[in-house]
Structure 1
Amino acid sequence: MLHHLTVTAQHSPELLERVLRVMRHRGFSVQTMQMNLDSELQQVELQVALESERAIALLTAQLSKLIGVTSVAVSERAVEPKLAVV
C-alpha cells in the first residue's frame, strides 16, 4: 500500500537521517521524497511517498515524537517524481 506524508520540522544537520531511520525501522520503504528548506525560518518540509503493508499510524506516531518535528500529516496528494524523457 502506498502512503503519502508531509513532515515539517526545524532544520538540523541530522534531521533527514533520523526521519529516514524511523521510516526504515517501522517497515516503510521510501518510493519518492522531496525536501524543501525555508532558510529564513530554518524549517524543512518533507513530502514522502512510502510503501508498506503496515498501518501508517504506526509511523506517524513515532515521527511526531522526534526532536524538532513540528507536524506530521497524511496526505492524499502524490509526490510527483521527476522523470527523464529518453
Structure 2
Amino acid sequence: MIDYSVAISVQQQPEVLERVLRVVRHRGFKVTHLAMQLNENNTTSIDMSVQSDRAIALLTNQINKLIDVLDCQVLAGQINKTSASAKG
C-alpha cells in the first residue's frame, strides 16, 4: 500500500465533503486521516491522507472534476512498509 497526502480546496457547501468522500470510495482508496479548516473567503481546506495500491492520479483527476472543488494537489506519497511486509 502507498500512503498519500492530499490537499483539497473547496467552496463552502453542505454537500461537498460527501461528494469528495464518495469519489475516494469509488476509486478504491481508504481514508486514514481527515482534517478540515474553514477559511474566511468562503472556502474550506481539506487535508486528507489516503492509502491504496492504485495510482493517485485516478483519485485527484476525479476530485478536480467535482463541482465546488477549486484545487486538489498531492503533497506526498510513500510506501507503507508495514502493509508491504505483511503481504510478502
TM class by shorter chain equals 0.7 to 0.9
Unaligned runs of 5+ in 1: 78-86
How many Å separate the matches in 1 of 2:49 and 2:21? Answer: 12
1:51-62 to 2 correspondence within 5 Å? 51-62=51-62
Cα displacement string for residues 5-54 of structure 1 (whole angstroms, at most 9, x for unaligned residues): 0000101000110000000000000000100011x311000000000000
How many Å separate the matches in 2 of 1:71 and 1:51? Answer: 20
* Residue 35 of structure 2: aligned partner: 34
Compute the TM-score of the two structures, normalised by the length of structure 1.
0.85
Compute the TM-score of the two structures, normalised by the length of structure 2.
0.83
Unaligned runs of 5+ in 2: 78-88
CA RMSD of aligned residues (A): 1.1
Count of aligned residue pairs for this structure pair: 76
* Residue 48 of structure 2: aligned partner: 48
3-state SS, counterpart of residue 67 of structure 1:
coil
How many Å separate the matches in 1 of 2:38 and 2:19? Answer: 17
Q: Which runs of 4+ in 1 moved over 3 A?
A: none
Amino acid at match of 2:47: Q
